[in-house]
Structures are given as structure tokens and as C-alpha cells.
Amino acid sequence: MSAVTSRLSRQQEKKLCSMLGCNRLSLLFKASVHGYSGGAFHQKCNLQGPTVTVGYNNSGYIFGAYTSKDYAQTNQNIIDEKAFLFSFNEREMKKDPLRVVSGAGQYSLYDGPTGPHFQSLVFLYDDTATVYSNPGNYNFDPVEMHGNNLQLVECEVYRVEGAGSLMEKPWRNISWTSERRKALMDMITGWTHGVSSVKQARVLLVGPVGVGKSSFFNSISSVFKGYVSSQANTGSAGTSLTTQFRTYSMKAGKDRKLLPITICDTMGLEDGVNAGLDIDDFTSILKGHIQDKYQFNPSVPLQPESNSFCKEPSLRDRIHTVVYVIDAGKLKLISNKMIEKLAAFRRKANQMGVPQLVLLTKVDEACSSVMVDLKTVYQSRYIHKMMQEICVNLGVSLSNVVPVKNYSQDLELDPQTDILLLNALTQMLRATEGFFEDFNEKDE
Ligand SMILES: Nc1nc2c(ncn2[C@@H]2O[C@H](COP(=O)(O)OP(=O)(O)OP(=O)(O)O)[C@@H](O)[C@H]2O)c(=O)[nH]1
Ligand SMILES: [Mg+2]
């Protein structure tokens, strides 16, 4: 997931944003990664709202098109009064970009099965790394547009983020007051369930590399410590930064009372075979065979003969809730292989009767309005859409998806960030109650 990066430099993104009147561009599709085909393009870009297509050729031209409409493969010609084609040259960044609109009343784009199709400019033409170019509906000089070089070295599509991205009312009601924050903390600290031999809910975090699993533990721990701390290692690397299985207990407040929850952090999942957390190790973790500080070996899962294998785990060693952690800004870039891996994990957890939730991280990075004001998280159309997409991809219901912003660069706690984190933790404890409802004292 982390390998898919934008080709646009920050300066070029700024240039496009000033032309589009938007705050940010968020990469949805990259042909060199997802494929030079109409099918791959539609899979990533349908129903994303306003988007901009950007083509690159090796004559240094960066050219493309903007549409304010959704792609939906309706096979219709569409009039979009806001659509335009643009071009600028890497070597002449200071010059104003070329901007061309279609003639009045003419069709601006064709929403068929092809790549981005702006009548006079069609990207991924014939499912290849080329552009079809023929001024007509849009009137341009091909030399100015692309230097007459129709061979693409890359083609990207970005979601355009800006005004109009918020719903009028939040679709989930959240109280953002300090009283609510305190009530959530009290509820979590005092949480109990029906099985007396197990004092702590054991919650496992799994998900792709770099999505914020370790940061979530650090963030929760910070809320209860009263200051931002970073016990677990976090950061960005090509492969998982966390390579051990870690179980973290946490203490609250001045009297250092043990919280009734243990967060279990794992190595991230990767696309390839023999890379990242493996399904056999996942199953052993669920059953309680893997202990704190176990060093994962992605090419060989832990064997029952090994000294590290806990042979007779008790109910308290088992996982009581699994949380799939997903990066809100990168959901569109998740590969099919990763979706399949997550589905296999889900099937295993379902078979074992373990409740499951999805934690949507980095909502601040994914939506500029949320970055400015976290309270808009349930008003952001984009976050709402991402939560719905997760439901489809992972087969969970919307009520089992919770968004958070982790503490990543902050030095001080922020009440809104805390409330979202505490809400997520509350959902995890509620899910765990479901696990324990299947047990009673006799089963222990
Ligand atoms: N803006 C923002 N950044 C975040 C958030 N959560 C995590 N990050 C950043 O994302 C990067 C990866 O976070 P980690 O917590 O190390 O991710 P991980 O899932 O534990 O990764 P691996 O252990 O490598 O699999 C770090 O640089 C974090 O600071 C968030 O909610 N918002
Ligand atoms: Mg980690």
C-alpha cells in the first residue's frame, strides 16, 4: 500500500490546486501500479466526486482534465460546465498553465468503459499507455497541450478536495464536551463483564503496514496518561516497523489503576506471499498460543513444537475482539490481494466466534475539512464514503466501523481527538462483551 505515491511534486500539486480552486488532491489511481486500462481506472475512480486526470509524457508535459462529475460507467455523453483540459510544462513552472474549456452545449466527457474520456483527449486509449488527441469539443493546439507526444510515462487520477465536501448535519451524533470525555474515561476504567477470571479485554490490532496500529495504542495510552507518549515504535518503512507481537496493558490517572483492556499490536500485513503477518500466526494469536515479544518470522509461522508456543492457553490469553485497522486516505489504493488476505482473516475470526471491528485511521490526512476541524468527521462526505466502501470490501456493517485520528505529530492532548479515540475504545469493549456472552462461569 505504501508503495503507491503521487508523481506530482508539492509545487505541481499547488499549481493544479490553484487552477482547480481546491485545497488538496488525493491520489486514487496510478496506471503504472493499477494498470493502463479503462477497467482498472473505473475500479478505483468511480463515484469519487470531482476528479482530475493527470498524464505525463517524457517531453516534460503534465497535462490532463478536470471533471466535477462522478464516473459511473453510464455509457452516456455528459455536459459538465465545469470541466476543462489543462497543460503545463515541468521546465516552465512559472508560466501560467494552459486551460481549455469545451464549446458551449458540447459534450465534455463520455462516461463509458474506457479510460478518462474527454472527447478531444482520451487517456489510456485502447487500454494502452497512450493518449488519443484530436481538438474538437475542446479547441487546443496539440503542441501546447502535449508537445505532440502521445506516449504516456504515467497517468494518475486524483480526487479533488475542497468546498462542498461536508454534509449539512452529522450522520452520527457525538457529544464533544469535556463532560462526555470524562464520562467515556470513567466508563472504560470501570468496565466489567460476566466472566470473573478474565479481567482484561484482549483486543488485537491487524492491518496493512503503516496504517497506524502502533500509533493507536500510543494514542489511547496517552489519553489515559494525560500527556502524549509513544511507547510503541511508529513510523514509515517499506515493510512493517513492528516485527514483534506486543501486548500492552495501560494504567490510568494518578493512582495508576490498571485499565480493563490489553491492546495487542502485530506486524503489518503485506501483499506478497511470505511477507507480513501470516494467517497461521494470526490463528495462533487468536487462540492465545503466541506470547508477548514473540519475534515474527514471515516465512515460517510459529510451530507447536517451538518453545515460544504456549501449549495450553487460558481464556484470558485468547483474543476477545479483532480490530482491522485501515488508513482512510489509502483505502482506494488497497490491492485485491490485500482485500483477499483480510477476507481470509475475517473468515478465520468468524469461525472462532471472535467479534470484529474496523478502525479507520488518519481521517485528518484523508479529508482536509476534518484536518481543520475534527468535529466534522461525521459530516465529511469522503469519510462517509470510505466507511461505506470498507463495509462492502470487508463485509462488515457500518455500525462496526469507527474513525479516529491518532496522535502522530502532536505534543499536547486535544479533547476532540481524545473523544474520537475513547469512542472507538468503547466500541471495542462493547464488542468484547459479545465474546463473553458466549461464556459463563462454568465454561471457564
Ligand atoms: N496524520 C496521521 N498520521 C498518522 C495517524 N496514525 C498514524 N499516523 C502516522 O502513520 C505512520 C505509521 O504509523 P504506525 O503506527 O507506525 O503504523 P503501523 O500500522 O503500526 O505500521 P507497521 O508496524 O509498520 O505495520 C507514522 O508516521 C504515524 O505517525 C493518524 O491518525 N493521522
Ligand atoms: Mg506498528
Ligand 1 atom nearest to 237, measured from its CA: 24
Q: In the prediction, which pLDDT does 44 show? A: 94
What are 249's three cell numbers?
496493558
Closest alpha carbon to 205 in 179, 165, 240, 161: 240
Query: Is residue 263 lining ligand 1, measured as CB closer than 6 Å?
Result: no
Q: In the prediction, which pLDDT does 444 show? A: 46
Query: Is residue 246 lining ligand 1, measured as CB closer than 6 Å?
Result: no
Compute, in angstroms, the gap from residue 311 CA to the centroid of ligand 2: 26
Fold of 178-439: Rossmann fold (3.40.50)
H helices of 288-414, where?
A: 336-351, 363-366, 368-372, 381-394
Angle, vertex CA 200, rays to CA 351 and CA 325, nearest 5: 55
Per-residue pLDDT reduced to its tens digit, 373-406: 899 899 888 899 899 999 998 999 999 999 999 9
Q: What SS3 class is residue 364?
A: helix
Identity (one letter) of the amino acid at 225?
K
Nearest ligand to the C-alpha atom of residue 365: 1
Query: Is residue 210 lining ligand 1, measured as CB closer than 6 Å?
Result: yes
Cα dihedral 27→31→35→38 (10° resolution)? 90
Q: In the prediction, which pLDDT does 441 show? A: 46
Q: In the prediction, which pLDDT does 252 show? A: 87
Query: Is residue 405 lining ligand 1, measured as CB closer than 6 Å?
Result: yes
In the DSSP assignment, the letter for residue 166 is B
DSSP labels, 418-429: HHHHHHHHHHHH
User: Which segments of the chain have a pLDDT < 50?
Assistant: 1-2, 441-442, 444
In the DSSP assignment, the letter for residue 62 is E
Nearest ligand to the C-alpha atom of residue 367: 1
Query: Is residue 211 lining ligand 1, measured as CB closer than 6 Å?
Result: yes
For CATH 3.40.50.300, list the domain ranges present in the chain.
Answer: 178-439
Q: In the prediction, which pLDDT does 16 show? A: 85
Per-residue pLDDT reduced to its tens digit, 253-279: 778 889 999 999 998 888 877 788 889
Q: In the prediction, which pLDDT does 322 show? A: 97
Q: In the prediction, which pLDDT does 372 show? A: 76
Residue 52 contacts residue 66 (beta carbons within 8 Å): yes
> Crossing angle, helix 415-437 and helix 178-189, to 10 degrees?
30
244, 406, 410: which to mutate for ligand 1, most atoms within 8 A of CB? 406
Spatial distance between the Cα atoms of 219 and 75, rounded to a whole number of angstroms: 47
Which amino acid residue places its CA nearest to atom 13 of ligand 1? 212
Ligand 1 atom nearest to 365, measured from its CA: 1
In the DSSP assignment, the letter for residue 70 is P
State which H helix or E strand residue 247 sits in: strand 244-252
Query: Is residue 322 lining ligand 1, measured as CB closer than 6 Å?
Result: no
Spatial distance between the Cα atoms of 158 and 225, rounded to a whole number of angstroms: 40
Ligand 1 atom nearest to 218, measured from its CA: 15
Residue 52 contacts residue 158 (beta carbons within 8 Å): yes
